[in-house]
Chains A and B, each alone.
Chain A
Amino acid sequence: NAGVTQTPKFQVLKTGQSMTLQCAQDMNHNSMYWYRQDPGMGLRLIYYSASEGTTDKGEVPNGYNVSRLNKREFSLRLESAAPSQTSVYFCASSDNMNTEAFFGQGTRLTVV
């Protein structure tokens, strides 16, 4: 069982470069999320998608865009990376009850 799969696992970017973080889930979940995790800040919601075709901003959306390509896939794009976007990014999914979210392994992103 793959669960939630994120790619890549590690990435180093130069300031101003762009990249897309990929996420796919095989649990037929409706809801998908992108979080960033920074020391002392916990998990902060960037964007979420309650169902295929819908996306909404979370707590820290600035500098990011998302696409819910289909029910399985939810991608996060950094158009012009900044050092403040250095973080660990987690994708998660849940069924209609959000009391249990399943997380991917994370993407460690460094922007230099």
Chain B
Amino acid sequence: QKEVEQDPGPLSVPEGAIVSLNCTYSNSAFQYFMWYRQYSRKGPELLMYTYSSGNKEDGRFTAQVDKSSKYISLFIRDSQPSDSATYLCAMLRTSYDKVIFGPGTSLSVIP
């Protein structure tokens, strides 16, 4: 079993839809949870990070962590064609630890 799992998609939604992207993990020691966005033929860039459980909102994006279920989510409201990208979750046990990435979910937002 991989430490971090994501549905690879591809996920295709109409413009304006609410998108839910999810990761599950096996190591209960993870405390820091990140979401990276990667456009085609580019390097990943950090969208959001969350420490421990709870929700964090940034504009149209909401990150949610449920440590009891070992499950994290990224919600995108009012999705736009410019949101079309691969979304990678990532996790750390401590802030100085090596980052473990999920395989990524490919998202297409259709105008």
Which chain A residues have a beta carbon within 8 Å of chain B's beta carbons? Answer: 4, 33, 35, 40-45, 48, 50, 58, 90, 92, 96-106
Q: Whole-angstrom distance from the CB of B33 to the nearest CB of chain A?
A: 9
Q: Whole-angstrom distance from the CB of B47 to the nearest CB of chain A?
A: 10
Per-residue A-contact encoding for B76-111, CB less than 8 Å = 1, 0 else? 000000000000100010011111011110000000
| Cβ B95 vs Cβ A103 within 8 A | no
| Cβ B102 vs Cβ A103 within 8 A | no
Q: Whole-angstrom distance from the CB of A23 to the nearest CB of chain B?
A: 11
Task: List residues of chain B with CB within 8 A of the CB of A96.
Answer: 95-96
Judge if B41 is at the interface, Cβ distance under 8 Å. Answer: yes
Which chain B residues have a beta carbon within 8 Å of chain A's beta carbons? Answer: 4, 6, 8, 32, 34, 41-46, 49, 88, 92, 95-99, 101-104
Interchain pairs with CB closer than 8 A, number: 56
Apart from the given pairs A40-B8, A40-B103, A98-B96, 8 other A-B contacts in the complex at a CB distance below 8 Å = A4-B43, A42-B104, A90-B44, A98-B92, A98-B98, A99-B95, A102-B45, A106-B41
Q: Pick the contact of A103 from B34, B43, B98 — CB < 8 Å?
A: B43
- The CA of A8 and the CA of B43, in the complex, are separated in Å by 14
- The CA of A44 and the CA of B102, in the complex, are separated in Å by 9
Task: List residues of chain B with CB within 8 A of the CB of A97.
Answer: 95-96
- The CA of A72 and the CA of B51, in the complex, are separated in Å by 29
| Cβ A45 vs Cβ B43 within 8 A | no
Task: List residues of chain B with CB within 8 A of the CB of A100.
Answer: 34, 46, 49
Known pairs A90-B43, A100-B49, A103-B45; A42 contacts B92 (CB<8 A): no
Known pairs A40-B8, A42-B88; A101 contacts B98 (CB<8 A): no
A and B contact pairs by CB, cutoff 8 A, 13 listed: A42-B104, A44-B101, A45-B99, A58-B98, A90-B43, A90-B44, A97-B96, A98-B95, A98-B96, A100-B34, A103-B43, A106-B41, A106-B43
